[in-house]
Amino acid sequence: MQPLGRQTGAPGFDAADVHDPRAVGVVRATLRSILNAARLGCVADTVELLASELVTNAYRHSRTDAYVSMDWDPDPARFQVTVWDHAPGIAARAEVPPDAESGRGLGIVDACADEWGVREYPQGKAVWFSIAPKGEA
């Protein structure tokens, strides 16, 4: 699976310059508003959590701008959130000691997303996840 982009013509959301400590809160609130307005609050908590993990990783590990997009593909129904940053290398899920205060982000994404992945580019990478609504909002 690749990032959906806008080729489907379906609605989406893009945010630039998430290299700001306030970006996680802004992205979370924006995604929740979009999902609630679309009557898809059934996935808002999960989408919000996973997006905040990826945006936090981009903020912590990239020294330059990062970008976020959310795309909706109605057939089959799924949301995809992608976070692009300019940090080199592909993110890896690490074994985290039980008393560690950080390092669980990709483990949370792996446990909660229907699908997720990483795509490397010459200038950085894109980490994405997708969620399919499973019930009524």
Q: Which residues of 27-49 are buried (b: 16+ CB within 10 A; e: fewer)?
A: bbebbbebbeeeebeebbebbbe
pTM for the model: 0.80
- The predicted pLDDT at position 4 comes to 36
Is the confidence at residue 1, as pLDDT, over 60?
Answer: no
Rg (C-alpha) for the chain, rounded Å, is 14
Higher model confidence: residue 24 or residue 94? 24
Is the confidence at residue 9, as pLDDT, over 60?
Answer: no
Give percent of the chain above pLDDT 70. 80
Delineate the domains of the chain, giving CATH numbers in brackets.
12-131 (3.30.565.10)
Is the confidence at residue 3, as pLDDT, over 60?
Answer: no
